[in-house]
Amino acid sequence: MPVAALFNAQAPATRTESPCPMAGVWALNEVSTIGILFHMNRFVLLSVLLLTGLAKRSVSAADFDLVIRGGRIVDGTGNPWFDGDVGIRGDRIVAIGRVIGTADREIDAAGLIVAPGFIDIHSHSDFLLLEDGHAQSKIRQGVTTEILGEGNSAGPYRGKLLAHSQTVRGTEREWRTLDGYFDVLDDAGCSVNVASYVGLNNVWRSVMGDSFERPTPQQIDEMGDLVDEAMRDGALGLSSQVMMPPGSLATTEDIIALCRVVAKHGGSYSTHIRNEGTGVFESVNEAIEIGRQAHVPVDIIHLKIADQTFWGRMNEIVELIDAARREGLNIQANVYPYTRGNNNLVSIIPPWAHEGGTRKLLERLRDPEQRKRMKHDIENGIDGWYNHYTAVGRDWSRMLISANTTFRGLTMDRVMALRTENRPNADLLDELFDILLDEGGSVSTVYAHHTDTDMTYALRQPWCSVGSDGSAYSIEGPLRRGNPHPRNFGTFPRVLGVYVRELGLLSLEDAVRKMTSLNAARIGLTDRGLLRPRQYADVTVFNPKTVIDNSTYTEPFQYSTGIEYVVVNGKIVLQHGEHTDAMPGHVLRHGQSAVKK
């Protein structure tokens, strides 16, 4: 019988007279005798149970596996902070507020902010996580979940797109589907949770290869089947990069058709819009129209005005999105807190020259007649094409080499000066073509193409969240390579340190909301992004007085400061700012159970 039941049990009340003179005191009938014995025995039993319980308490599990005590809780809703504790058992939060009880481990969070783990809504860590699952540069920003997939994704590799193979922790692995990638990542282990969109480029190339021909209706249906397969594999929806081929080959109607497949699975559409420069208004309207026609939520990736011609007009773009939302369309966006974006020198080459893939591109770069045509289009533009060269005012100093080449960390004006030192009359576009030939057609480059004023105007909107557009690098080992954009190391601490603490453009609570629950809600992740009982225990603990990014464009390999603890699925992954080597992350598959074992 439970202890509470012993306290509440009632002895029989009936008794009868006895001829014994003392009957009024001692003499009870059989029923009463049983009752008094019950009363006596229940207190003996209660004492035994209590003593046994105390004994067991000394050797059994504590009330909690982990308690984060005495922090200032910012719960992800945007509501004001409050002082309290967070109690964790297994991989779940089980108590918030004043948490009473013992714990196997405790974190003293006095003077620190306790927040949900940050959800990076736009990440490119797909293949780096297979090389090294510790996700160092992301964990040290407080990121506990990475959302993968832009134009490209880790699957599918079907039809004309060959299976993907990669050495994963010393073992060669191969896969053709997004599900296959998820399985490989689950087997390898990871410090962060991972979810992914399916990329339009993968779907398109699986059916069309490197051809620039228009797909037939049957081929569009084949693409739809691949999207359907990916959604059943657990994709969040469809993602696109329609600025460059092959994504730019897809018409608005093509994307609507594929997004209708996504809608059947309750997914969403995430897009790097077709033109972030002088075509930015038309491109935002295209994204809105896709949402309207396909009945899917839309997330515009790293919203910006990336051409100096239109700088200062972010308010007009915001009004386009607000008007769509008033209409009832779920249109949102994300930004990274920097004014330079990472792309490639090859993006300066006109779209037509990319047909047939890299091999054909290199052939055209060697052809003098093709070079003439390219120069004309680069200087004069092509209708609808986002031209990186003119977007930065034809200013080579606003292009920084981030690839692992001889010129790593140099701006292109310096590169051009070094290459043409003895050739003062050299044509600089010819130099560009030669550099691409030397580097096999690809040179990762950072472009200074938008303004802080426009970026922060977008960031302040209630529907605009934070995403890094970066990858999980490391400051040492194989993942220290190239000259990557500082957003790979500093996005989330930069928001907290610069735009919250130093500039006061966002409240702490709203900044955390933009990094957590806003991103979770956008992708239908209902059990992460908040500090509440029954949510998965993804938690970031940081010092609001010291949190800051340290990575720079010329010295990127620097971790951020002020992220003290990171907990993923109830396990401590970052402790006193140091990685514990724990890999408790899970693949999160949309439309399935939160974790596939």
pLDDT in tens, 237-282: 999 999 999 999 999 999 999 999 999 999 999 999 999 999 999 9
Average pLDDT in the 124-134 region?
A: 98
C-alpha distances in angstroms, 289 versus 277, 318, 392?
19, 16, 29
Give me the percent of the chain exceeding a pLDDT of 70. Answer: 89
In this prediction the pTM is 0.86
11: pLDDT strictly greater than 80: no
pLDDT, position 33: 40
CA distance 426 to 416: 9
* Amino acid at position 398, single letter: R
Q: Which of 213, 202, 262 is nearest to 234 (CA)?
A: 262
- Mean of all residue pLDDT scores within the chain: 90
C-alpha distances in angstroms, 220 versus 94, 206, 225, 258?
47, 11, 9, 8
* Contact status, residue 588 vs residue 597, Cβ threshold 8 Å: no
pLDDT, position 61: 65
Kindly report the number of other CB atoms within 10 A of residue 74's CB atom: 27
> Which region among 33-37, 280-284, 316-320, 387-391 has the lowest average model confidence (pLDDT)?
33-37
Residue 572, classed as helix, strand or coil, is: strand
N-terminal to C-terminal alpha carbon distance within the chain:
38
| Close Cβ partners of 153 (under 8 Å, ≥ 6 residues apart) | 126, 178, 196, 197, 198, 199, 201, 202, 230, 235, 239
**Pseudo-torsion of CA 221, 223, 229, 230, nearest 10°?**
-150
Higher pLDDT, 3 or 278: 278
CATH no. for 115-339+450-579:
3.20.20.140
432: pLDDT strictly greater than 90: yes
| Close Cβ partners of 376 (under 8 Å, ≥ 6 residues apart) | none
Instruction: Dump pLDDT digits (tens) for 156-186.
Output: 999 999 999 999 999 999 999 999 999 999 9
Instruction: Dump pLDDT digits (tens) for 501-547.
Output: 999 999 999 999 999 999 999 999 999 999 999 999 999 999 999 99
Query: Helix, strand, coil proportions of the chain in percent (round to 5)?
Result: 35, 20, 40
The CA-based angle 339-342-344, given to 5 degrees, is 140
Instruction: Dump pLDDT digits (tens) for 323-373.
Output: 999 999 999 999 999 999 888 999 999 999 999 999 999 999 999 999 999
Structure tokens at 570: 């109830």
Residue with tokens 């439970």: 2
Average pLDDT in the 556-575 region?
A: 98
User: Based on the number of CB atoms within 10 Å of its own CB, is 422 exposed (0-12), middle (13-18) or buried (19 or more)?
Assistant: exposed
Beta strands in 398-467 (DSSP E): 399-401, 444-448, 464-466
CA distance 250 to 222: 14
> Which region among 62-76, 192-206, 230-244, 399-413 has the lowest average model confidence (pLDDT)?
399-413
27: pLDDT strictly greater than 80: no
* Contact status, residue 492 vs residue 143, Cβ threshold 8 Å: yes
Largest CA distance in the chain: 133
> Number of H helices and number of E strands within the chain?
19, 23
pLDDT, position 231: 98
pLDDT, position 546: 98
What residues pair up with 299 in beta bridges, in sequence order? 270, 332
Domain ranges of the chain: 3-59, 115-339+450-579, 344-447
pLDDT, position 331: 98
Give me the percent of the chain exceeding a pLDDT of 90. Answer: 83
pLDDT, position 593: 54
Q: φ, ψ for residue 495 (rounded to 5)?
A: -60, -45
Instruction: Dump pLDDT digits (tens) for 480-502.
Output: 998 899 999 999 999 999 999 99
DSSP class of residue 197 equals: P
Residue 376, classed as helix, strand or coil, is: helix
Run of H or E including 438:
helix 428-438
CA distance 143 to 193: 9
Beta strands in 20-112 (DSSP E): 64-73, 82-89, 92-97, 103-108
35: pLDDT strictly greater than 60: no
DSSP class of residue 106 equals: E
CA distance 109 to 116: 14
* Residue 206 banded pLDDT, cuts 50, 70, 90: very high
pLDDT, position 523: 96
> Which region among 30-44, 212-226, 374-388, 531-545 has the lowest average model confidence (pLDDT)?
30-44
What residues pair up with 241 in beta bridges, in sequence order? 272
Peptide bond into 246 cis (omega under 30): yes
Q: Which of 389, 200, 217 is nearest to 301 (CA)?
A: 200
CA distance 63 to 550: 39
What residues pair up with 86 in beta bridges, in sequence order? 68, 96
